[in-house]
Structure 1
Amino acid sequence: MSDKITNELQELLKANVVTEETAKKIRQYFNEKQEGSQNRLSSVFGILGAILVGLGIILVFAHNWDNLSRLTKILLSFLPLIIGQLFCGYSLLKKSESPAWRESSGVILFFAVGSSIALIAQVYNISGDLNSFLMIWMLLCLPLVYLLKSSIVSLLYLTGITYYGCNANYFTYPTAHSYYYWLLLLGIAPHYYELLKTKANSNFTLFHHWFIALSLIICLGTIAHKNGNSIALSYMSLFTIFYFIGQTPFFEVQKLKNNSFLIFGKLGILYLLLLYSFKWFWDKSIYDTTSVSETFFSLEFIIALLLTFLAALLFYKKNSQTNFKEISVLELVFLTNILFFIPGYEFSIIANGIVLAIGISEIKRGSKLNHLGILNFGLILISILVTCRFFDTNLSFVIRGILFITIGLGFFLTNYLMLKKRNRNEK
């Protein structure tokens, strides 16, 4: 606790403003706050130091590797692994209460496992592909998350399995296709649940929200195989699920920058709606298989159906509490999945109308809450919609110019009126 707070606390005690018991609680609060800040700082520097040391060792080995004998190469291949295990053992036995030690040693061993696998494979010319290497590396390091209770290893694991999912399905498609990513993702679920229960407001939990949401968005497309055109249905439902998760009581009290699910959900829904607003998007049907029955029994369609059902359940759970009186347009957008099953029609006009309605509702909400950010978000959304139509229609340049001038004036007038209203209320 700083000297300034201590002196002020003494003055309050002398003036009988606070009791000795209250002063003791205040001292304890600031001491715990200061200790927590120091622990976080130690963890950050410890993790950075571990990463730099690991990378430095790899670079030294790589530079002199060809000049070493096979025995030396083998010994050096296992050396990082031994060092990492010693650090982890010391952390568990002597420093189990120190997050800095647990996180740093976990990072060292995580990279040591990967480097040892690669080096031994190189020494003995063991054949293999990147997918196998990544899977073995991640599976060997998964226990570290639970043994060391290491959240940074968990984040590295999420990064590794996401890259594995991309490499096994996007980068090498169609020669390779794998669904193991989803099983690997389940491996981290207990740790994430524990973070939500015990450290709901920690930075590591915040990073997990972002990493997990982003990983799911990136790898959901890996399920697309024979009927890839239906993947849009799955993404619309996934973004809707994210949107409802972001509106749960747990995330509602968070700052917007910490609510990754709400941000990804809302932006994802709007992105897909803007795609729907283009005529070329509807040129492809979800019936991209030899028969309708094959479409309905394809994995892509089944996943889309399950996600849509889950989105409908979350919609009911949220709005049943208010007797369905506070339903927003965004919450109903996932129902546009039905449009895909009506062949021969283009729904670009409907998509344009939905985006316009959302933009107007955001402007109204921003005006009602006296929030410039929300108001300008609605204006930006309408501007993006008009810009899309600029490249998608045959309107004359005069009409297009008038539209942009109108939107520009709208930006100016709405912001001016709101600022004027604020100044008037302050007076």
Structure 2
Amino acid sequence: MSSKLQSDIKELVKHKVISQDVAFKIENYYQSKEPQTSNRLFTVFAVLGSTLVGLGLILILAHNWDHFSRTIKTAFAFLPLVIGQFFVGYSILRRKSETWKEASGAFLFFAVGASMALVSQIYNIPGDLSSYLLTWVLLCLPLIYLLKSNALALLHLIFITCYACSLGYFTSSKTPWLYLVGLGLYLPYYIKLGKGKNISSVLNWLTPLSLVIVLGAFIDHDEQTGFLMYVVLFGLLYNIGRMPFYANEKLRRNGYLIIGSLGTVCMLLTASFKWFWEGFFSQGYNFESQEFVITLIFFIAASGLLVNSIIKKGVSNVNLFQVSFICFTILFYLGLVDGSIAVILDNLFVLALGVMAVKIGADRYHLGVLNYGLLIITALITCRFFDTDISFVFRGLLFVCVGVGFFLTNYIMLKKRKNNETPKI
């Protein structure tokens, strides 16, 4: 407990604001919280320490590797694996603390990868990076549930994403279907984590971010449907973020909501240009592609969440971001018939999203949401700066008006918030 807090408590007792018994209870309460904080910090440093030790040993061995015989090389290849298994077994059998399990699990995770790489190099076993990463991740997957390790869950998500990127973007440009298997095996642990924890907040950002990064690897040849696939994915993520489990979290912990919202706005701004509709549909449309099937699955899932939200909260609590994937899907197929109408409607819809965000921010006295809406409107005006034939004087006046709008809106909001916080006598 901090010395400042202790002095404050003594001052309150001295001036008879609280009794000595209450002061004793307050001190005990804060002292009981301190070990938890220190344990969490110790766990983080233990994981980092074990990771650095493992990487350091690998570098030392790599420096002298050519001087060893094949037998010694093989022994060294399996040595980190044996050490890691020993510490993991010791942590489980002795029922050691969470710190022990997290640190030993992280060490064993990297030991498995190092042993695989060394054995492959010693005996010249062929293979590519994507298959190596997939084998590594799947071998270590049971450790997540065996140790109930948050660090291993985080590492699993990162490396399964690396596998999908390696296979889909770099190695062979194949569709990484096994990424879905790895993600599905990780989800039960992620769901059981609950909310309010630091690691769950991190995973609330990394899980949707992983989906966004990897989804491009599922685009084969149908790029235009791939664009729609991304818009529907962002709609799905936003509706996940609006579920009660995530909606009750602080906004900074709700990665689904923020990534879904930002992604939707970016995609719709991209589609607000004329060249988008002229170039994308010049070669027709394919309703039998894998992109169309994936988009349909995302659309059904997002629609299910939207209907569930309407049933539980009512239509009045549904905002435009939740239905944006439906609106853009209609615009998308309308663009097959007439791209000029789709451009106009897309611009109007982006403007409506910005106005709605401003209104939500004003109603909730939330400056972040308010400025987000203003930024959407500013981004739309900036986009029109490049593809409309209007004078520079008018363009300059438009930006001046937007800047003044930013200042006045924030000034009025801060003034209202101050008036609401001021106690009435």
**TM-score for both structures, normalised by structure 2:** 0.90
Q: Secondary structure at the match of 1:178?
A: coil
Q: Where does 1:159-308 land on structure 2 (aligned, <5 Å)? A: 159-174=158-173, 176-196=174-194, 200-285=195-280, 295-308=286-299
Distance of 1:399 and 1:6 partners within structure 2: 62
Whichever residue aligns with residue 389 of structure 1, its letter is: R
Question: For residue 302 of structure 2, what is the aligned residue in structure 1?
Answer: 311
> 1:107 aligned to 2:106?
yes
> 1:393 aligned to 2:388?
yes
Deviations 1:338-380 (A, max 9, x none): 2222313221211111111121222233233333222222211
Offset at residue 320 of structure 1 (A)? 2.8
Deviations 1:169-188 (A, max 9, x none): 111344x4431111111111
Question: For residue 409 of structure 1, what is the aligned residue in structure 2?
Answer: 404
Whichever residue aligns with residue 179 of structure 1, its letter is: W
> 1:344 aligned to 2:343?
no
- Aligned partner (choices 275, 300, 324) of residue 333 of structure 1: 324
Q: Where does 1:35-74 land on structure 2 (aligned, <5 Å)? A: 35-74=35-74
Question: For residue 373 of structure 1, what is the aligned residue in structure 2?
Answer: 368
Question: Conserved in 2, the CA contact under 8 Å of 1:230 and 1:286?
Answer: no
Question: Conserved in 2, the CA contact under 8 Å of 1:209 and 1:261?
Answer: yes
Q: Does the C-alpha gap of structure 1 residues 400 and 7 become closer, same or farther in structure 2, counting only changes over 3 Å?
A: closer
Question: Conserved in 2, the CA contact under 8 Å of 1:114 and 1:137?
Answer: yes
Distance of 1:234 and 1:215 partners within structure 2: 15
Deviating above 4 A after TM superposition, structure 1's stretches of 4 or more consecutive aligned residues are 1-12, 15-20, 22-29, 284-289, 422-425
Q: Does 411-420 or 253-262 show the bigger shift?
A: 411-420
Q: Does the C-alpha gap of structure 1 residues 190 and 274 become closer, same or farther in structure 2, counting only changes over 3 Å?
A: same
Q: Does the C-alpha gap of structure 1 residues 228 and 157 become closer, same or farther in structure 2, counting only changes over 3 Å?
A: same
Structure 2: 5+ residue runs without aligned partners? Answer: none
Q: Secondary structure at the match of 1:254?
A: coil
- Aligned residue pairs total 417
Q: Does the C-alpha gap of structure 1 residues 424 and 202 become closer, same or farther in structure 2, counting only changes over 3 Å?
A: closer
Question: For residue 143 of structure 1, what is the aligned residue in structure 2?
Answer: 142
Q: Does the C-alpha gap of structure 1 residues 317 and 177 become closer, same or farther in structure 2, counting only changes over 3 Å?
A: closer
Q: Does the C-alpha gap of structure 1 residues 163 and 66 become closer, same or farther in structure 2, counting only changes over 3 Å?
A: same
Question: Conserved in 2, the CA contact under 8 Å of 1:247 and 1:262?
Answer: yes
Offset at residue 24 of structure 1 (A)? 8.6
Distance of 1:11 and 1:416 partners within structure 2: 38
Deviations 1:41-67 (A, max 9, x none): 110110110111011111111111112
Q: Does the C-alpha gap of structure 1 residues 387 and 113 become closer, same or farther in structure 2, counting only changes over 3 Å?
A: same
Q: Where does 1:119-130 land on structure 2 (aligned, <5 Å)? A: 119-130=118-129
Q: Does the C-alpha gap of structure 1 residues 367 and 63 become closer, same or farther in structure 2, counting only changes over 3 Å?
A: same
**TM-score for both structures, normalised by structure 1:** 0.89
Question: Conserved in 2, the CA contact under 8 Å of 1:229 and 1:288?
Answer: no
Distance of 2:263 and 2:60 partners within structure 1: 44
Q: Secondary structure at the match of 2:82?
A: helix
Q: Secondary structure at the match of 1:325?
A: helix
Offset at residue 121 of structure 1 (A)? 0.8
Question: For residue 80 of structure 1, what is the aligned residue in structure 2?
Answer: 80
Offset at residue 258 of structure 1 (A)? 0.6
Q: Secondary structure at the match of 1:188?
A: helix
Offset at residue 11 of structure 1 (A)? 8.6
Distance of 1:286 and 1:189 partners within structure 2: 37
Offset at residue 323 of structure 1 (A)? 3.6
Q: Secondary structure at the match of 2:315?
A: coil
Q: Does the C-alpha gap of structure 1 residues 177 and 220 become closer, same or farther in structure 2, counting only changes over 3 Å?
A: closer
Whichever residue aligns with residue 360 of structure 2, its letter is: R
